[in-house]
Amino acid sequence: MKKVSVLIPCFNEAQTLPALYEELKKLADTQTAYDWELMFVDDGSVDATLDVLKQLHIKDERVCVLSLSRNFGKENALLAGIDNVSGDCVVVMDADLQDPPSLVPEMLTYWEDGYQDVYAKRRDRGREPLIRKMFSLLFYRIMAHATRFELLQNVGDFRLLDRQCIDAMRCLRETERYNKGLFCWIGFKKKEVLFDRGNRSEGESRWSFWSLLNLAIDGITSFTTAPLRFATIIGAIIALGAFCFLVFYISKTLIFGDPVQGFTTLVSVVLFLGGVQLLSIGILGEYIGRIYNEAKGRPNYVVKECSSDW
């Protein structure tokens, strides 16, 4: 019998877990053609998440738990799960029931048809501030222009991955992970399934605007060096402009003997150039920072305990 793993990263999800488990249990009990493994990764939760998971594991042997030593972030928690699932395919979903388990049977039929990455695409983005929507649009634009693969829009981590995709994901050990991009980067035969993403059932989204902006910068810097080129081109344009400017004013002074005027112009030019330089150094720094993090070669996560030890 084929085995399906469901992988759920959880960070302070004690409130939502019982309802999620009920849904998953319903799913596993109806889809009897498969063996099921429900893999919960506790990403260093500080609430009762781990206790709830322990209870679930005692009640149902299909529940596996992996508890990380602290909060490593969702991207790393996902990798921890991917490293440890044993299924022939894995369904990745969030703990807050925003990713409806009712979609899984449809994903499984596509998987049986030979698709290796069946991803769920949101029909709309749900309740979300306008500025967040605008930034996300901008982000996808940049990614589309700067990379060779297509980064799927309105697609989150909710998807079914075949064993081959799991193995490919296991090979990607970079530290500042951007899984959404990595899932697209690995390729394989993809198929979309449309769904309406609800709002969180309990609690609040852990993603603040800043953490999303950071994720976007991570996304861009892990897949393209286009910003470096951008800095080079801006630098070249400004240098050329400044050179023409210089020639013009020197000739003017030599011919007409004008005294130098325009303190304001001078200050604004200096400030503008300073800004451009800082921006370019910042961009350079982003990449050097990534080299630094990569060079340390630290593991992406540390496991504290695992249900197979209990």
The single-letter DSSP state of residue 175 is S
Q: Is 157 in the site for Mg ion (CB under 5 A)?
A: no
Residue 175: C-alpha distances to residues 207, 252, 301 (Å): 19, 56, 10
Q: How far apart are CA 245 and CA 248, in angstroms?
A: 5
Comparing CB distances to ligand UDP, the nearer of 73 and 227 is 73
User: Exposed (0-12), middle (13-18) or buried (19+): which is 201, by Cβ within 10 Å?
Assistant: middle
Q: Is 95 in the site for ligand UDP (CB under 6 A)?
A: yes
Q: Is 12 in the site for Mg ion (CB under 5 A)?
A: no
Task: Give the per-residue contact string, 272-301, with ligand UDP (x = CB under 6 A; - = no).
Answer: ------------------------------
Residue 80 tokens read as 């921890």
Q: How far apart are CA 277 and CA 272, in angstroms?
A: 9
Comparing CB distances to ligand UDP, the nearer of 189 and 200 is 200
Residue from the set 25, 57, 74, 177 that interacts with ligand UDP by CB under 6 A: 74
What is the nearest approach in angstroms of Mg ion to the Cβ of residue 215? 14
Q: Is 101 in the site for ligand UDP (CB under 6 A)?
A: no
Which SS3 state, helix, strand or coil, does residue 111 take?
helix
Residue from the set 15, 31, 55, 71 that interacts with ligand UDP by CB under 6 A: 71
* Interaction residues for Mg ion, span 68-97 (CB under 5 A): 94, 96
Residue from the set 149, 207, 249, 272 that interacts with ligand UDP by CB under 6 A: 207
Residue of 31, 169, 161, 155 lying closest to 91 (CA atoms): 161
Residue from the set 86, 109, 199, 205 that interacts with ligand UDP by CB under 6 A: 205
Residue 20 tokens read as 């999620």
Q: How far apart are CA 66 and CA 82, in angstroms?
A: 11
Name the residues that contact ligand UDP, by CB under 6 A. 9-11, 13, 43, 71, 73-74, 77, 94-96, 98, 200, 205-207
Name the residues that contact Mg ion, by CB under 5 A. 94, 96, 98
